[in-house]
Amino acid sequence: MRVFVWSACFALAAAAIALLTFPPSESTGDGTPLADITMPVLSATAEKGAILFDRSCASCHGAEAAGRDGVAPPLIHKIYEPSHHGDESFQIAVARGVRAHHWPFGDMPPVDGLSREDVAKIVAFVREVQRANGIN
Ligand code: HEC
């Protein structure tokens, strides 16, 4: 009996580790969201940013910046917290594009048609959603 309990525990732990290591949603490469997002009530500025994000970024980064598997990463992710990717890194990403370095999704091309003020609104949106998801 004791042996049975231990092997059951072991099997459960192995299954949990397998799930943590290979989350089902992270290997499909088909555009499924890569993060589970809680949407906060947005400030007026962030609302404007959300509209711009929807228009210029969501095709790759996904609705709610949750990422799209095989396309682009979630910006609601610890990698993009303010101390690692400050607001200026968003300005540079939009103006010059990004060479792939954190993810296996290829380069991000520069995005046309957005002023620095527009990008600042997008950043306000991303930061508010980050905070609502425990990323500070
Ligand atoms: C054509 C697809 C595409 C579009 C459109 C796009 N991105 Fe990206 N973006 C990517 C990919 C892919 C990466 C990941 C690069 C890597 O591997 O680090 C990325 C990375 C980033 C990064 C991280 C930059 C860094 O320094 O590591 C930021 C910030 C970003 N995107 C913001 C935006 C914003 C804001 C928009 C809309 C104005 C946008 N992206 C539109 C594909 C895209």
Q: How far is 38 from 35, CA to CA, in rounded Å?
A: 10
Q: Give strand pairing partners of 68.
A: 72
The pLDDT value given to residue 29? 84
Q: How far is 80 from 126, CA to CA, in rounded Å?
A: 9
CATH of segment(s) 29-132:
1.10.760.10
Q: How far is 117 from 2, CA to CA, in rounded Å?
A: 65
Q: How far is 39 from 132, CA to CA, in rounded Å?
A: 7
Q: Which residues line ligand 1 (CB under 6 A)?
A: 56-57, 59-61, 72-73, 85, 89-90, 93-94, 98, 100-103, 105-106, 108-109, 111, 114, 122
Q: Give strand pairing partners of 108.
A: 98
pLDDT at 124 over 50: yes
Q: Where are the domains of the chain?
A: 29-132
Q: Angle 44-56/116-132 helices, nearest 10 degrees?
A: 110
User: Measured in angstroms, how far is the CA atom of residue 108 from the centroid of ligand 1?
Assistant: 5
| Ligand 1 mutation target, pool 51, 101, 105, 108, most atoms within 8 A of CB | 108
User: Measured in angstroms, how far is the CA atom of residue 11 from the centroid of ligand 1?
Assistant: 39
CB atoms within 10 A of CB 120: 17
Q: pLDDT tens digits, residue range 54-99?
A: 999 999 999 999 999 999 999 999 999 999 999 999 999 999 999 9
Q: Average pLDDT over the chain, rounded to whole?
A: 88
